């Protein structure tokens, strides 16, 4: 049986949504285990697939295929790197915004509170601040903002104050050290959910995920040909709200601009009015698909 790293979420729905054809130029902005990329290549004959991923662990999944161009960088830079290949427009862009199961299952990456490991959480381990630095150096007000905005933690101020108090007696270096501290602040009935929200908030801050996502969407808008498809899988409310607003209105606030006749001006046509979610069978076989939401839009 395939490792969860290689199980693509909402696979058939994503491939159908991309509206592929044999000569298409396609972007897979989140290569990961290569599951979606492999399915995309099956639909191409003389087309090209430009796959992006900043995580070095994904190198082992890169297929030997002349149609595949793998770029080891964050998807926020897709426009720059496509220009390097002489590509100014593409037919389809795909992104699966979930952190791979592989990353969650490697203790030293620090993404999961289930394992003892270093407080790292960097997608790109070649540089940048890690979660340990944030937890031990950010002022209380800044930690409060991170937990409130990115984790939607209701008692974020209290959590931030507890962390700041605990670190005065020694650095917080591991996932389990942080887990023990956070557990003191978590409502008993939802402790695991609370922990997941805190770790999510830190991961988003470490990797600057919200700004990167916005830059990716803006680049996608300028790259897609008329009739080109943007297909995105989200996993939490923050990124899904950004995706939904951008597809509906072309901006991140969801502000509708109308013409003289009252028609909404949008650079996209929404393909699936109702968000697509995994069926019971997929959720049973891949539990990490449970929170997935698929949205599809076509460039006008």
SS (H, E, C) the chain: CCCHHHCCCCHHHHHHHHCCCCCCEEEECCCCCCHHHHHHHHHCCCCEEEEECCCHHHHHHCCCCCCEEEECCCHHHHHHHHHHCCCCCEEEEEEECCCCHHHHHCHHHCCCCCCCCECCCCCCCCCCCCHHHHHHHCCHHHHHHHHHHHCCCCCHHHHHHHHHHHHHHCCCCEHHHHHHHHHCCCCHHHHHHHHHHHHHHHHHHHHCHHHHHHHHHHHHHHHEEEEEEEEEEECCHHHHHHHHHHHHHCCCCCCCEECCCCCEECCEEECCCCCECCCHHHHHHCHHHCCCEEEEEEEC
Q: Give the model confidence (pLDDT) of 54-99 as tens digits.
A: 988 899 999 999 999 999 999 999 999 999 999 999 999 999 998 8
- Tell me which residues of the chain have a pLDDT lower than 70: 1-6, 100-108
Domain ranges of the chain: 4-101+209-299, 103-206
pLDDT at 1: 35
pLDDT at 258: 87
pLDDT at 28: 98
Q: Give the model confidence (pLDDT) of 216-237 as tens digits.
A: 999 999 999 999 999 999 999 9
pLDDT at 105: 62
What is the topology classification, in CATH, of domain 4-101+209-299?
A: Rossmann fold (3.40.50)
pLDDT at 209: 96
CATH superfamily of 103-206: Putative methyltransferase TM0872, insert domain (1.10.150.170)
103-206 has the same fold as 4-101+209-299:
no
pLDDT at 171: 98
């Amino acid at each position: 049986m395939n490792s969860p790293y290689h199980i693509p979420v909402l696979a058939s729905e994503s491939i159908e949504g991309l509206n592929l054809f044999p000569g298409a130029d396609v972007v897979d902005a989140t290569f990961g285990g290569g599951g979606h990329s492999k399915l995309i290549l099956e639909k191409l004959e003389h087309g090209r697939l430009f796959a992006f991923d900043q995580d070095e662990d994904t190198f082992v999944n890169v297929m030997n295929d002349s149609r595949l161009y793998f770029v080891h960088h964050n998807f926020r830079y897709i426009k720059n790197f496509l220009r390097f290949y002489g590509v100014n427009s593409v037919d389809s862009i795909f992104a699966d915004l979930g952190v791979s199961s592989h990353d969650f299952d490697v203790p030293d990456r620090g993404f999961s509170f289930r394992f003892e490991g270093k407080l790292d959480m960097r997608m790109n381990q070649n540089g940048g601040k890690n979660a340990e630095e944030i937890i031990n150096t950010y002022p209380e007000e800044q930690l409060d903002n991170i937990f409130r905005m990115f984790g939607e933690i209701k008692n974020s101020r209290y959590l931030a104050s507890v962390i700041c108090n605990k670190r005065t007696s020694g650095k917080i270096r591991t996932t389990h050290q942080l887990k023990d501290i956070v557990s003191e602040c978590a409502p008993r009935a939802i402790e695991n959910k609370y922990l997941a929200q805190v770790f999510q908030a830190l991961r988003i801050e470490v990797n600057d995920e919200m700004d990167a996502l916005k830059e990716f969407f803006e680049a996608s808008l300028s790259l897609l040909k008329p009739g080109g498809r943007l297909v995105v899988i989200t996993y939490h409310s923050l990124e899904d709200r950004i995706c939904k607003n951008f597809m509906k209105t072309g901006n991140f606030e969801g502000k509708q601009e109308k013409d003289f006749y009252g028609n909404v001006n949008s650079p996209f046509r929404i393909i699936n009015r109702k968000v697509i979610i995994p069926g019971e069978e997929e959720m049973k076989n891949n539990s990490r698909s449970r929170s997935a939401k698929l949205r599809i839009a076509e460039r006008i």
